[in-house]
Amino acid sequence: MKIVVKKDKLEAAKYAARLLADELKANPETVFGLATGRTMEPLYAELCEIYKAEKLDFSKAVSFNLDEYAGLPGSDVNSYRAYMQMNLFDHVNFKSTNLPDGVAPDAEAEAVRYDNAIKAAGLDIQLLGIGNNGHIGFNEPGTAFDSRTRHVKLTDATIEQNQGLFPKPEDMPRYAFTMGIGTIMEAKKIILVATGAAKTGILAAAVAGKVTEDVPASVLQNHSNVIIVADEDAAAEVPAELIAAE
Ligand code: GLP
């Protein structure tokens, strides 16, 4: 695990965006695993800038998002499909982009379909944020490390963290689809981005604490190709000896 610390959230976003751009340049057919959340907004803005400035070409690349709210159609402004269109997909030329269908009539079948599609494509690089409770995707504390893509109930902590993004907080869905931890761990490379003081304790627990299902992101200590990109606030409690000299 390589841990890179940048001055602030913008510098962290720029560093992570550069990693994604370099990946695409090295392999035009990259299969990207993508994430949502406030952390990723400056990162996608930067990736769109690099796309224009360096004429990146996503036309042979495909993407699979980590998660989607259950019960929201992609046309709903609060869906992760809408977030992705707004922040990235409307601005770059992906060959195809994939998210779970939040309103699929059979949730279980939709989860299996999505997991199979990811498996068939093979994730080259998976981008992750981290929830305040250590969740990755919507894999909440206690999730089995070998879990696959599925329909899940959100915890109170996650509802608390995300409901402010909804015009009416009570409208935030209580269920979601998420790639499983086992699914995520099959990605060849993983980049986790954590910024801001709200992530300080949980980031330290994830990278330097015990590997435990109580802290889903701690599973990354078991993966052979992980880069953690944090800003100084989020990294404040990460032991100095774990931080890469840049
Ligand atoms: C959300 C998403 C995660 C995301 C995380 C962090 O609930 N399901 O995929 O990484 O929480 O969000 P934020 O960047 O807004 O802190």
> Under 8 Å CB-to-CB from 96, ≥6 apart: which residues?
62, 63
Q: Please, which pLDDT band fits residue 233 given cuts at 50, 70 and 90? A: very high
98's tokens: 């994939």
> CA-to-CA distance for 9 and 71, rounded, in angstroms?
31
Residue nearest to atom 12 of ligand 1 (CA): 37
Tens digits of residue pLDDT in 138-195: 999 999 999 999 999 999 988 998 999 999 999 999 999 999 999 999 999 999 999 9
Sign of CA dihedral 214, 215, 221, 224: positive
| Residue 171 annotated as catalytic | no
| Residue 223 annotated as catalytic | no
Q: Please, which pLDDT band fits residue 246 given cuts at 50, 70 and 90? A: confident
* Contact assessment for residue 176 and residue 104, using Cβ atoms and an 8 Å cutoff: no
pLDDT of residue 160: 92
pLDDT of residue 52: 98
Q: Is the pLDDT of residue 55 over 90?
A: yes
pLDDT of residue 153: 95
Residue of 130, 181, 192 to test ligand 1 pocket, by largest number of atoms within 8 Å of CB:
130
pLDDT of residue 245: 86
**What region does 74 belong to: left with phi over 0, alpha with psi -120 to 50, or beta?**
alpha
* Contact assessment for residue 40 and residue 17, using Cβ atoms and an 8 Å cutoff: no
- Other beta carbons within 10 Å of 79: 21
Predicted structure pTM score: 0.96
Residue nearest to atom 11 of ligand 1 (CA): 131
Counting residues of the chain whose pLDDT is more than 70, the rounded percentage is 100
Q: Please, which pLDDT band fits residue 231 given cuts at 50, 70 and 90? A: very high
Residue of 162, 190, 203 to test ligand 1 pocket, by largest number of atoms within 8 Å of CB:
162
Tens digits of residue pLDDT in 1-23: 999 999 999 999 999 999 999 99
* Contact assessment for residue 152 and residue 140, using Cβ atoms and an 8 Å cutoff: yes
Which is higher by pLDDT, 153 or 245? 153
Give ligand 1 pocket residues (Cβ under 6 A): 35-39, 66-67, 129, 131, 137-138, 158, 162
Residue nearest to atom 1 of ligand 1 (CA): 37
Tens digits of residue pLDDT in 191-224: 999 999 999 999 999 999 999 999 999 999 999 9
* Contact assessment for residue 94 and residue 62, using Cβ atoms and an 8 Å cutoff: yes
* Contact assessment for residue 197 and residue 236, using Cβ atoms and an 8 Å cutoff: yes
Q: Which of 68, 115, 140, 233 is catalytic?
A: 140
Question: Regarding beta strands 175-178 and 150-153, do their DSSP bridges make them parallel or antiparallel, or are they unpaired?
Answer: antiparallel
Determine the distance separating the centroid of ligand 1 and the alpha carbon of 1, expressed in angstroms.
21
Using DSSP's 3-state secondary structure scheme, residue 120 falls into helix
Q: What mean pLDDT value characterizes the chain?
A: 97
pLDDT of residue 47: 98
Q: How many residues does the chain have?
A: 246
Strand partners, 69: 176
Tens digits of residue pLDDT in 76-118: 999 999 999 999 999 999 999 999 999 999 999 999 999 999 9
| Residue 133 annotated as catalytic | yes
Stretch 24-38: mean pLDDT: 98
Q: Please, which pLDDT band fits residue 126 given cuts at 50, 70 and 90? A: very high
| Residue 160 annotated as catalytic | no
Q: Which of 65, 87, 98, 133 is catalytic?
A: 133
